[in-house]
Amino acid sequence: MSLKKQFNKDKTKCKVTFRIGKDIAKDIDSASLVGDFNNWNATANEMNKLKKDGSFSIIIELDASKEYLFRYLLNGNVWINEPEADAQIPTPYGDSENSVIKL
């Protein structure tokens, strides 16, 4: 899995590429990027399955100079974190962690 950040010239926005590699993607049919930037809506940012290698990817633009919490939702029922995130913090429920991206 991976994250790629690309800031605009004035550094007010950042295009972020979220990617779930083929090693994990080979066993899943769908993936969504879910976080505080989309009100934790599981259908707002469905990821694209890449035909080339079977990985999942999505690019979204976010405001810079902020931090965002997120996770991946696989097959509509399995939550996973991004190991390359800038941080991991406990959820308010205490049963898992959220990934953090700092822009």
Alpha helices in the chain (DSSP H): 22-25
Residue 57's CATH number? 2.60.40.10
User: Tens digit of pLDDT per residue, the chain (103 long)?
Assistant: 899 999 999 999 999 999 999 999 888 999 999 999 999 999 999 999 998 899 999 999 999 999 999 999 999 999 999 999 999 999 988 889 999 999 9
Q: In the chain, how many domains are there? A: 1
- Residue 51: per-residue pLDDT: 84
- Residue 95: per-residue pLDDT: 85
- Residue 64: per-residue pLDDT: 96
Q: Confirm if 37 and 73 have CB atoms less than 8 A apart.
A: no
